[in-house]
């Protein structure tokens, strides 16, 4: 709020055709000072999922911020539906997914050794919302099944649950099969993905699922929960499997299916990359966002 005067001065000096603000709470509130220029507001996730549940005041602020925008943009249909809960009479949010650099995220250069361990992996922050504990539980069920090879769980990421998750691994008896890699630069994520045989995302909540489409772009079959926008980035049975959230046993069963059928892994992984190429290629998503910006600017300026 203290920056609103500075923002107004900058906008007067620059006089843009349109203003695009990301995140509906902090910057969304700041953007309520934008009155002269068309405004597009991109929602990200926690701003529309968790922020309004904190109190009536938080809900009121969010509704006001969303209502002030000329156009709201969501990365998924699931999150667009969440926006509609707060603004049921407004025009629907435009859906523009995150894109993937398919020249960077590729199956090429895979470092998995033939005959080595089969690896289930994820690239996620170690926070409760991303269900790493559920992934560990599913993996613990898996190791009780007959796979016919050594299996390992590889977790790439850092976060507040690290110590808690290490204790859980000991409790579940999987510590000797667990590789906690820590955080890596985003540029190195494809190298990590190529060490996996299956990618897993068993989140409790997820606004979109960009990590899943990065994995699919690398030719990996995926197993995801049915939380939020995750089912939108997987063709169930074609590029991977969607399992009920909070059901580690079913997730373990799908892991077993994939790990014991190399041909199926290849088939689903190849279909996953084709799915990304057809729907989430970076430049196509950028073009779609530019369309939304141009359409909004033209619509606002055509008003009497």
Q: Which pLDDT belongs to residue 215?
A: 97
* Confidence at residue 113, expressed as pLDDT on a 0 to 100 scale: 52
* Domain ranges (residues) in the chain: 4-99+282-301, 118-279
pLDDT of residue 271: 97
> Is residue 5 exposed (0-12), middle (13-18) or buried (19+ Cβ within 10 Å)?
exposed
Task: Kindly report the backbone phi and psi dihedral angles of residue 259, in degrees, each rounded to the nearest multiple of 5, phi listed first.
Answer: -70, -25
CA distance 142 to 256: 7
What is the second-level CATH architecture of the domain 4-99+282-301?
A: 3-Layer(aba) Sandwich (3.40)
Distance between start and end Cα atoms, the chain: 30
Quick: pLDDT tens for 109-133.
Answer: 655 556 679 999 999 999 999 999 9
C-alpha 167 chain-centroid distance: 26
- For 49-66, give the secondary structure using H, E and C: HCHHHCCHHHHHHHHHHH
**Spans in the chain with pLDDT lower than 70:** 1-2, 109-115
In this predicted structure, what is the pLDDT of residue 301?
83
DSSP string, 114-152: TTS-EEEEEE--SSGGGTHHHHHHHHHHHTTS--SS-EE
What is the per-residue pLDDT for 9? Answer: 78
Residues 6+ apart with CB under 8 A from 266: none
Question: Each residue of 30-75: pLDDT tens digit?
Answer: 888 777 889 999 999 999 999 999 999 999 999 999 999 999 999 9
pLDDT for residue 2: 64
Closest Cα to residue 280, out of 207, 217, 197? 217
Same topology between domain 4-99+282-301 and domain 118-279: yes
Encode pLDDT of 11-26 as tens digits: 778 888 899 999 999 8
Specify the fold of 118-279: Rossmann fold (3.40.50)
Backbone angles phi, psi at 241, to 5 degrees: -130, 140
pTM of the model: 0.90
């Amino acid at each position: 709020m203290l920056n609103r005067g500075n923002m107004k001065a900058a906008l007067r000096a620059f006089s843009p055709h349109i203003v695009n603000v990301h995140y509906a709470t902090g910057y969304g509130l700041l953007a309520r000072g934008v009155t002269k220029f068309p405004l597009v507001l991109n929602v990200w996730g926690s701003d529309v999922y968790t922020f309004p549940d904190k109190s009536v005041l938080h809900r009121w602020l969010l509704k006001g911020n969303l209502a002030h925008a000329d156009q709201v943009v969501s990365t998924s249909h699931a999150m667009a539906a969440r926006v509609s809960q707060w603004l049921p009479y407004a025009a629907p949010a435009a859906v523009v997914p995150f894109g993937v650099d398919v020249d960077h995220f590729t199956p090429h250069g895979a470092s998995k050794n033939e005959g080595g361990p089969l690896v289930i992996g994820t690239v996620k922050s170690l926070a409760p919302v991303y269900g790493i504990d559920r992934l560990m539980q599913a993996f613990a069920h898996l190791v009780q099944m007959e796979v016919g090879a050594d299996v390992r769980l590889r977790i790439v990421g850092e976060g507040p649950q690290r110590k808690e998750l290490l204790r859980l691994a000991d409790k579940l008896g999987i510590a000797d099969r667990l590789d906690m890699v820590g955080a890596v630069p985003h540029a190195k994520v494809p190298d990590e993905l190529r060490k996996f045989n299956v990618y897993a995302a068993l989140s409790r909540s997820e606004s979109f699922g960009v990590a899943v489409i990065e994995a699919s772009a690398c030719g990996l079959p995926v197993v995801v929960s049915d939380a939020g926008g995750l089912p939108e980035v997987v063709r169930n049975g074609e590029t991977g499997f969607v399992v009920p959230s909070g059901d580690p046993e079913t997730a373990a069963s799908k892991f077993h299916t994939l790990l014991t059928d190399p041909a199926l892994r290849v088939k689903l992984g190849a279909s996953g990359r084709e799915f990304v190429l057809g729907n989430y290629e970076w430049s196509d998503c950028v073009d779609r966002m530019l369309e939304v910006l141009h359409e909004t600017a033209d619509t606002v300026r055509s008003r009497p």
